[in-house]
Amino acid sequence: PAPPPPPPSTSSTPTPPTPHGRLPPAVWTRLYRSLSPFLRPISDAAVGESSLDFFHNQMQVAVSKRYLEGGDAALRMHRLLAEYFHKQADPTRDRSWKGPARAISELPYHLVRAKMFKEAESILTDLTFIERKCSLGMTFDLIGDYNEMTQNTNARSFIGSGLTPESLNRVKEFGKFVMECSHILSRQ
């Protein structure tokens, strides 16, 4: 295997969010140094950011089994990530969606995975959000968001979510529009 990358300096690598804010730099540095043999940096040119992923897929499977299986741990984790990315994507809370590309990219996925369907419907039918995501070159990712939403909802999903069959149909119609006009929207 390739040697691990050098540990990030606390000034150039942001510390990951926690439910109570960011990890203190000293904690993040120790954690990163301990885990670095199992991590690899990845860069996403579409969002202009880099992040970390597990070096081996088996590690991801093991961590998921240990920490996210059973109960609602995965749901809670997606909810935390959805809330974090929502704050990042819309920092002024005015639905202007002026946040970083990474937040715009990740928000719909985590809303759906957290079963926050009403919130997912709200952004996937928001023309300002659609325009912003397309302007960032993520038109085809947006189509994936619509597919994720419509494929991960069923009759049981509606209970207590605030989502109705009519609102799901509205999301489907927006998704159909974006898909049919993707050749135009992707030129934004």
> What are residue 17's phi and psi, to 5 degrees?
-75, 155
pLDDT for 19-69, tens place per residue? 556 788 899 899 989 989 989 988 776 556 778 888 888 988 998 888 888
C-alpha angle 129-133-137 in degrees, rounded to nearest 5: 165
pLDDT for 132-178, tens place per residue? 999 999 999 999 999 999 887 766 666 677 788 899 999 999 999 99
Q: What is the DSSP letter of 165?
A: H
Q: Is the pTM of this model over 0.75?
A: yes
> What are residue 115's phi and psi, to 5 degrees?
60, 35
Rounded to whole angstroms, how far apart are CA atoms 159 and 124?
20
pLDDT for 99-143, tens place per residue? 999 999 999 999 999 999 999 999 999 999 999 999 999 999 999
pLDDT at residue 13, as a whole number: 53
**From residue 145, how far is each of 52, 56, 72 by CA, in Å?**
22, 26, 22
Rounded to whole angstroms, how far apart are CA atoms 144 and 180?
13
Environment class of residue 159 by beta-carbon count within 10 Å: exposed (0-12), middle (13-18) or buried (19+)?
A: exposed
CA neighbor of 45 nearest in space, from 106, 107, 86, 102: 102
Is the CB of residue 86 less than 8 Å from the CB of residue 105?
A: no
